[in-house]
Amino acid sequence: MMRGVAAGRTSRVRRSQLFATATDWVTRLTDAHRRGNLPRELARLRRYGLIIVDEVGYLPFEQDAANLFFQLVSSRYEHASLILTSNLPFSSWGGVFGDQAVAAAMIDRIVHHADVLTLKGASYRLRGRGIDSLPSIRTTTDETPS
Protein backbone atom coordinates (compact mmCIF):
# COMPACT_ATOMS: atom_id res chain seq x y z
CA MET A 1 0.00 0.00 0.00
CA MET A 2 2.76 2.44 0.81
CA ARG A 3 4.27 2.01 -2.65
CA GLY A 4 1.62 4.32 -4.17
CA VAL A 5 2.16 6.92 -1.48
CA ALA A 6 5.92 6.89 -1.99
CA ALA A 7 5.52 7.06 -5.77
CA GLY A 8 3.36 10.16 -5.49
CA ARG A 9 5.64 11.95 -3.08
CA THR A 10 8.80 11.26 -5.06
CA SER A 11 7.32 11.50 -8.54
CA ARG A 12 9.40 13.44 -11.04
CA VAL A 13 6.35 14.11 -13.19
CA ARG A 14 6.30 17.75 -14.29
CA ARG A 15 2.51 17.87 -14.30
CA SER A 16 0.77 18.44 -11.01
CA GLN A 17 -0.60 15.70 -8.82
CA LEU A 18 -3.14 15.24 -6.06
CA PHE A 19 -3.24 12.79 -3.15
CA ALA A 20 -6.15 11.86 -0.84
CA THR A 21 -7.82 8.83 0.67
CA ALA A 22 -10.68 7.16 -1.17
CA THR A 23 -13.07 8.51 1.45
CA ASP A 24 -11.75 12.05 0.93
CA TRP A 25 -12.22 11.75 -2.84
CA VAL A 26 -15.80 10.55 -2.40
CA THR A 27 -16.50 13.46 -0.03
CA ARG A 28 -15.08 15.91 -2.58
CA LEU A 29 -17.15 14.43 -5.41
CA THR A 30 -20.29 14.30 -3.25
CA ASP A 31 -19.91 18.01 -2.48
CA ALA A 32 -19.46 18.81 -6.17
CA HIS A 33 -22.52 16.71 -7.04
CA ARG A 34 -24.64 18.50 -4.42
CA ARG A 35 -23.55 21.88 -5.83
CA GLY A 36 -24.53 20.70 -9.31
CA ASN A 37 -21.02 20.90 -10.77
CA LEU A 38 -19.79 17.30 -10.79
CA PRO A 39 -18.97 17.33 -14.53
CA ARG A 40 -16.94 20.52 -14.07
CA GLU A 41 -15.07 19.04 -11.07
CA LEU A 42 -14.26 15.83 -12.97
CA ALA A 43 -13.01 17.88 -15.93
CA ARG A 44 -10.86 19.98 -13.59
CA LEU A 45 -9.39 16.85 -11.99
CA ARG A 46 -8.53 15.46 -15.45
CA ARG A 47 -6.05 18.32 -15.83
CA TYR A 48 -3.87 16.79 -13.09
CA GLY A 49 -1.28 14.41 -14.47
CA LEU A 50 -1.56 12.06 -11.50
CA ILE A 51 -4.18 11.40 -8.87
CA ILE A 52 -3.34 9.07 -5.99
CA VAL A 53 -6.18 7.40 -4.12
CA ASP A 54 -5.09 5.79 -0.86
CA GLU A 55 -6.97 3.22 1.22
CA VAL A 56 -9.41 1.91 -1.40
CA GLY A 57 -11.52 -0.64 0.45
CA TYR A 58 -10.60 0.48 3.94
CA LEU A 59 -14.23 1.49 4.41
CA PRO A 60 -17.14 0.22 2.28
CA PHE A 61 -19.02 2.70 0.11
CA GLU A 62 -22.75 3.18 -0.13
CA GLN A 63 -24.22 2.97 -3.65
CA ASP A 64 -24.13 6.72 -4.38
CA ALA A 65 -20.53 6.98 -3.17
CA ALA A 66 -19.53 3.95 -5.24
CA ASN A 67 -21.08 5.51 -8.34
CA LEU A 68 -19.19 8.77 -7.75
CA PHE A 69 -15.92 6.90 -7.27
CA PHE A 70 -16.60 5.01 -10.50
CA GLN A 71 -17.07 8.34 -12.27
CA LEU A 72 -13.66 9.49 -11.02
CA VAL A 73 -11.99 6.32 -12.33
CA SER A 74 -13.94 6.45 -15.59
CA SER A 75 -13.19 10.14 -16.21
CA ARG A 76 -9.45 9.49 -15.90
CA TYR A 77 -9.49 6.33 -18.03
CA GLU A 78 -7.18 6.85 -21.02
CA HIS A 79 -6.79 10.56 -20.11
CA ALA A 80 -4.51 10.74 -17.07
CA SER A 81 -2.68 8.59 -14.52
CA LEU A 82 -4.20 7.11 -11.42
CA ILE A 83 -2.53 5.26 -8.55
CA LEU A 84 -4.74 3.30 -6.19
CA THR A 85 -3.60 1.63 -3.00
CA SER A 86 -5.59 -1.09 -1.29
CA ASN A 87 -5.06 -3.94 1.10
CA LEU A 88 -7.79 -5.95 -0.65
CA PRO A 89 -7.60 -8.09 -3.77
CA PHE A 90 -9.80 -7.06 -6.70
CA SER A 91 -12.00 -10.08 -5.96
CA SER A 92 -13.17 -8.32 -2.76
CA TRP A 93 -14.05 -5.01 -4.39
CA GLY A 94 -17.66 -6.01 -5.10
CA GLY A 95 -18.27 -5.97 -1.35
CA VAL A 96 -16.51 -2.62 -0.95
CA PHE A 97 -18.55 -0.93 -3.67
CA GLY A 98 -21.77 -2.83 -2.94
CA ASP A 99 -22.20 -3.89 -6.55
CA GLN A 100 -20.28 -6.52 -8.50
CA ALA A 101 -21.07 -4.84 -11.84
CA VAL A 102 -19.74 -1.44 -10.75
CA ALA A 103 -16.65 -3.07 -9.26
CA ALA A 104 -16.02 -5.11 -12.42
CA ALA A 105 -16.40 -2.08 -14.70
CA MET A 106 -14.06 -0.06 -12.48
CA ILE A 107 -11.44 -2.82 -12.30
CA ASP A 108 -11.62 -3.22 -16.09
CA ARG A 109 -10.71 0.44 -16.57
CA ILE A 110 -8.04 0.39 -13.87
CA VAL A 111 -6.11 -2.64 -15.12
CA HIS A 112 -6.43 -2.01 -18.88
CA HIS A 113 -3.26 0.10 -19.10
CA ALA A 114 -1.92 -0.62 -15.62
CA ASP A 115 1.04 -2.11 -13.89
CA VAL A 116 -0.49 -3.90 -10.93
CA LEU A 117 1.94 -4.34 -8.06
CA THR A 118 1.12 -6.81 -5.33
CA LEU A 119 3.21 -6.42 -2.23
CA LYS A 120 3.45 -9.27 0.21
CA GLY A 121 5.20 -9.55 3.52
CA ALA A 122 5.19 -7.91 6.89
CA SER A 123 3.68 -4.50 7.35
CA TYR A 124 6.12 -1.61 6.96
CA ARG A 125 4.58 -0.01 10.04
CA LEU A 126 5.35 -3.11 12.15
CA ARG A 127 8.99 -3.36 11.07
CA GLY A 128 11.40 -3.15 14.00
CA ARG A 129 8.67 -3.57 16.61
CA GLY A 130 9.09 -7.29 17.26
CA ILE A 131 5.71 -8.07 15.68
CA ASP A 132 5.87 -10.52 12.80
CA SER A 133 2.34 -10.10 11.50
CA LEU A 134 -1.03 -8.56 12.19
CA PRO A 135 -3.55 -10.56 14.21
CA SER A 136 -5.88 -12.66 12.12
CA ILE A 137 -9.59 -11.98 12.08
CA ARG A 138 -11.53 -14.55 14.06
CA THR A 139 -15.25 -15.11 13.92
CA THR A 140 -17.35 -16.20 16.85
CA THR A 141 -17.55 -19.71 15.38
CA ASP A 142 -13.74 -19.95 15.57
CA GLU A 143 -13.67 -19.25 19.29
CA THR A 144 -13.80 -22.07 21.78
CA PRO A 145 -16.09 -21.70 24.78
CA SER A 146 -14.44 -20.88 28.10
pLDDT at 132: 65
Query: Residue 12 — pLDDT band, cuts 50, 70, 90?
Result: low
pLDDT at 13: 47
Question: Bridge partners of 20?
Answer: 53
Mean pLDDT taken over the chain: 84
Calpha distance 136→92 (Å, rounded) = 17
What are the residue boundaries of the structural domains of the chain, listed by start? 2-121
CATH class of 2-121: alpha beta
Helices and strands in the chain, H and E counts: 6, 3
> How are strands ordered across the β-sheet holding 17-21?
17-21, 50-56, 81-86
Query: Residue 6 — pLDDT band, cuts 50, 70, 90?
Result: very low
Of 94 and 10, more confident:
94
Query: Residue 14 — pLDDT band, cuts 50, 70, 90?
Result: low
